[in-house]
Structure 1
Amino acid sequence: MDADSVVGYFRNKSILITGSTGFLGKVLVEKILRVQPDVKKLFLLIRAPNVESAKLRLQTEVTAKEIFQLLKKKHGVGFENFIEEKICPLAGDIMHEDFGLDSAQLRALCKDIDIIVNGAATTNFSERYDAAFDVNVLGAKNVCAFANKCTKLKMLLHVSTAYVAGEQEGLIPEKPFLMGETLRVGTHLDIESEINLIKEARRELRANCSTEKAEKKTMKELGLKRARHFGWPNTYVFTKAMGEMIMGHLRGRFLVVIIRPSIITSTLKEPFPGWMEGIRTIDSVMIGYAKQILPFFIGDLDLIIDVVSSFTNRKPVE
């Protein structure tokens, strides 16, 4: 399928996007509006107590960012009107059933949505187990439940991570995780049992009047312990793998597409080279190189690094 076909597909479509205030979400929203201004509507699910707060987060955390500068230049004084026409912020959260939307909102959305892009996630490798499970696993479950209510839904796109493959080596086939599948031979994963384990751990901590600090430490350790027991290196990739299982198990009549990006750094070309937000994972290494304060980086020359980044106006490092 060529790029023009993809662009054409989005014409007159209504798209629900979760995780739009994140780095990848901003890139997606900007790209759709730039290449297909005839998209019908982008519904952005934003964690907020009410619609006004959701609008404020949209304005300050999404459309105000530098990545939207090409769109601002194109539309000029009409930019805000264009955004208001094309984007509808929804105050809600994937951790809640029906995202916490009221019945009127829910009925209207279920009749209108053509595509769902689920990009909401917690990406902290050492997140506490209950927090990561709520977003990456139960959140996926709630997205699937909502998707099954959408009468004209064509596709559910779920953003996972390449690192659900764990620490396996060699050629790794792109195949979906089956419910209960693990990376460690001789183990079987029961997601309901993991839910009960988390609930029991919470009960014990509260019964013992544990401090917030102690509770956080215990839940982090529990997540890492469970991840390693089943063959995953950390809580993040473990819960993302479970999220994939949920997607495959609860899928309805619509197409489910799971994408597994590796490390995401900066934009390569569009809307301009080198845009990034915050400093995550390998970003500090590249920033050090761009600023010429890191002249070299120690590594194994026989290994392959799967990160491609771009920086403009960079002088060669001697």
Structure 2
Amino acid sequence: MCGVGECDESGVAAQYRGKSVFVIGGSGFLGKVLIEKLLYSCDGINKVYVLMRDNRNASAQQRLDKIFQLPVFSRLQKEKPWAMEKVAVVTGDLTSCNLGLSETDEEEMIEKVSYVFHLGATVNFNDPVELMFDINVGGTERVMNLCKRMKRLQKFVYVSTAFSNSNHQVIEERIYPLPFTLNAIKKQILGGLYPKEVEKLLGKLLVVLSEKSI
């Protein structure tokens, strides 16, 4: 990402010049900072597409308009208000097939996007395990399936939740092996287990992970 102040055109900003970015999870605290930084520091960026859901109280566009009124975007509003015109809402949902994209939006993503930032997740641990799995794991799979069809894709950046690999004091930038395969976990969680069985499975997973970190 861009450093403090404006990006050096010979460095990071140059990489984004003329390129379009797709941000999933743009309404989260990291997503807001990412969008602001890209718009403020990388003047040559072409377009920033943001995946957002409609909800019962507001449309996806109305939600984005409200986000732009937050303090994090104050310097952008004051110094480079024109940059926000580069942001385009893409209505969709991580839990929907093909992210719930319209045919027009899907085609635009495939033809124009060069960088994808996936920050979308749920950290509400009161949700059913099946729903958390569908959003955090299934949603990521759907995003990657779309990325595989993008003709201009150069980078895919995934940002996990703060609770990933929480049994480690220091988390490195690498993929940590699981004691179970993803398919095994998926089969158990989505196979209709009772809550106590799911709790037992997750408890076993945490114990194994803890032992590995000692």
Matched, 1:227 2:202: yes
Structure 1: give runs of 5+ residues left out of the alignment. Answer: 183-188, 205-217, 235-318
SS at match of 2:26: coil
Q: Indicate if the aligned counterparts of 2:111 and 2:150 stay in contact, CA closer than 8 A.
A: yes
- In the superposition, the TM-score normalised over structure 1's length comes to 0.57
Aligned to 1:6: 12
In structure 1, which of residues 64, 70, 78 is the aligned counterpart of residue 75 of structure 2? 70
C-alpha distance in structure 2 between counterparts of 1:12 and 1:63, whole Å: 23
Q: Indicate if the aligned counterparts of 1:58 and 1:89 stay in contact, CA closer than 8 A.
A: yes
Shift of 1:163: 4.3
In structure 2, which of residues 30, 35, 40 is the aligned counterpart of residue 24 of structure 1? 30
Give the partner amino acid of 2:150. C
SS at match of 1:114: strand
C-alpha distance in structure 1 between counterparts of 2:102 and 2:2, whole Å: 39
Distance 1:167 1:10, change over 3 A: same
C-alpha distance in structure 2 between counterparts of 1:172 and 1:32, whole Å: 26
Matched, 1:88 2:93: no
Alignment map for 1:29-178 (pairs within 5 Å): 29-48=35-54, 53-60=59-66, 62-75=67-80, 79=81, 82-83=83-84, 85-161=85-161, 163-168=163-168, 174-178=173-177
Aligned to 1:193: 184
Bigger Rg, structure 1 or 2: 1
Deviations 1:256-301 (A, max 9, x none): xxxxxxxxxxxxxxxxxxxxxxxxxxxxxxxxxxxxxxxxxxxxxx
Q: Indicate if the aligned counterparts of 1:117 and 1:156 stay in contact, CA closer than 8 A.
A: yes
Q: Indicate if the aligned counterparts of 2:113 and 2:150 stay in contact, CA closer than 8 A.
A: yes
SS at match of 1:164: coil
- In the superposition, the TM-score normalised over structure 2's length comes to 0.81
Structure 2: give runs of 5+ residues left out of the alignment. Answer: 210-214
Q: Indicate if the aligned counterparts of 1:94 and 1:139 stay in contact, CA closer than 8 A.
A: yes
Shift of 1:233: 9.7
C-alpha distance in structure 2 between counterparts of 1:113 and 1:154, whole Å: 9
C-alpha distance in structure 1 between counterparts of 2:165 and 2:69, whole Å: 36
C-alpha distance in structure 2 between counterparts of 1:2 and 1:49, whole Å: 32
Identity over aligned pairs, percent = 26
Aligned to 1:266: none
